[in-house]
Each structure stands twice: as C-alpha cells, then as structure tokens.
Amino acid sequence: MIRLDSIDRRQALRYAGMRGDADTAISALAETCEKRLLSVISPRYIHRVYPLEFCENGIACKGSHLLLTGADIAAHLQGCSHAVLFCATLSQAADRAVRMAQAEDLTAGLLTDALASAAIEQVCDLAEAEILAGLPDFHATWRFSPGYGDLPLSLQGEFLDALDAQRKIGVCVSDSGLLLPRKSVTAIIGLSEKPIERHRKGCAACNLMNTCPYRAKGAHCK
C-alpha cells in the first residue's frame, strides 16, 4: 500500500484545463478538495514479472494467457527479456469522492476528478520506483498501457487476470474495457539485461490521452 501525503495541484489544474496560476478562490477550493480526497483514498498496487516470448502473432507473457499484440508494444519491448505487469488504483473511495463533489458543486467536481487523476499518476510513479528498486539487474522502459498506440484496450480483462487484480486489489473491467474503479491504471514495463534507449514518452504514454483538453486544442501540457 502506498501513502500519499499531497497531490500535485499544479498538474491537477492542468488536467482540469486551467492554464496559468489559479486565482485565490480556485486555489482554496482545490486545497479543500485535495484534503477531502486524501482522507478517503486507499492507494494500492500489484505487480508481477513475466518472461517474454516473441511470437509471430504477438508477445506472450509466459505463464499466463496474455498475448500483447500490435506494432507499438513490439517496438516498445524490443530487446526486453521480461516485463513487469502492474495495476494501481485509488480504490472505490476515489470514485465516490468525485461523484459527491460533482453533486455538490460543478467546479469542486471538476477539481476533485482532476486531483484524482493526478493522484493515480503519482501512485504509478511511486509504484514503479518501488518495483524497479527490487530489480537492480535490469534496465527498464517507461510504462506502456493497454489502449496506447495499437495495443488493444480489449486486453484489460486478461491483463487483470494475469495479476489476479480483482481479488487482490479490487480492480475489474467493464464490458466496454474501462477499469473499475475509474482511477485505476494498468501498465507494462519492459526489462532488459542491456541498457535501453529511452525515447521521449509524448502524449501516447499519458493516461489522459483520449480526454486531454490540451490535445483537443492542439496543444500540450508540458
């Protein structure tokens, strides 16, 4: 279990589509929403390392039924012998907090949702650091998730099964392929015995790629 003592409010405001410095009222509301969210969430993650087998029709995670398909994940895992599969979540409490804030006030709802998005990214960063600290003999790629590039979102169910994520941390998948609780993330980190060239992630590696207000305007958050 990971503990968050604060949330990156500047990043949350970007997720909320607010540019520049927030005014006093928004800053105060964001602080209130952050405190409420931090008081209820229970960030957790689970991971497992799988050997990889490159096949004609994809990349098999040996010991599971998961087959990673698509040119993008093949390029991402090029030169890797293993991969970390992991899933992180803020718990159902985060979804409830967002719904309650939305029912009370539209701005509070927007900020709470954006804060939760920023929070799960921080949880993923902390989880990744912990995982890789235990794998000192490997070099790692950055995180790559189902739905990025041409890696199908439909893999989410088998991905969660490979981790037993529903039983262990309460994460499941909807009929449309969305993770539940909503503030959850699945990701793949490639592992190689040799140094890996780490390319710039760009928008393709962002969990908010499909809903990003910056991309809608033809811009970037960073």
* pLDDT tens profile 123-169: 999 999 999 999 999 999 999 999 999 999 999 999 999 999 999 99
Please check whether residue 127 is in contact with residue 2, taking contact to mean a CB–CB distance below 8 angstroms: yes
**What pLDDT does 166 receive?**
97
Place of tokens 């390319």: 199
Contact, 190 vs 145, CB < 8 A? no
Which residues does 134 contact at the CB level (< 8 Å), separation at least 6? none
CA distance 141 to 205: 12
Cβ-in-10-Å burial (0-12, 13-18, 19+) of 64 comes to middle
Going by pLDDT thresholds of 50, 70 and 90, the confidence category of residue 216 is very low
DSSP code string of 50-68: EEEEEETTEEEETTSS-EE
Angle separating helix axes 106-133 and 24-40, nearest 10 degrees: 50
Cα 75 to Cα 178: distance, rounded to the nearest angstrom:
25
pLDDT digits (tens, 9 = 90+) for 11-33: 999 999 987 778 899 999 999 99
Domain boundaries, the chain: 9-216
Q: What is the pLDDT of residues 174-193, one digit of tens each?
A: 998 899 999 999 999 999 99
- Report the pLDDT value the prediction gives residue 211, as an integer from 0 to 100: 54
pLDDT band at 218, cuts 50/70/90?
A: very low
The DSSP code for 144 is B
pLDDT band at residue 219 under the 50/70/90 scheme: very low
- pLDDT of 18 reads 87
DSSP 24-43: HHHHHHHHHHHHHHHHH---
Q: Which CATH class is domain 9-216?
A: alpha beta
| 189 close to 142: Cβ distance less than 8 angstroms | yes
Supply the pTM of this predicted model: 0.88
Among 37, 221, 178, smallest CA distance to 111 is for: 37
Question: Among all chains, which residue has been given the structure tokens 């990043």?
Answer: 11
Kindly report the average pLDDT of the chain as a whole number. 91
Instruction: Count the Cβ atoms, other than its own, within 10 Å of residue 202.
Output: 10
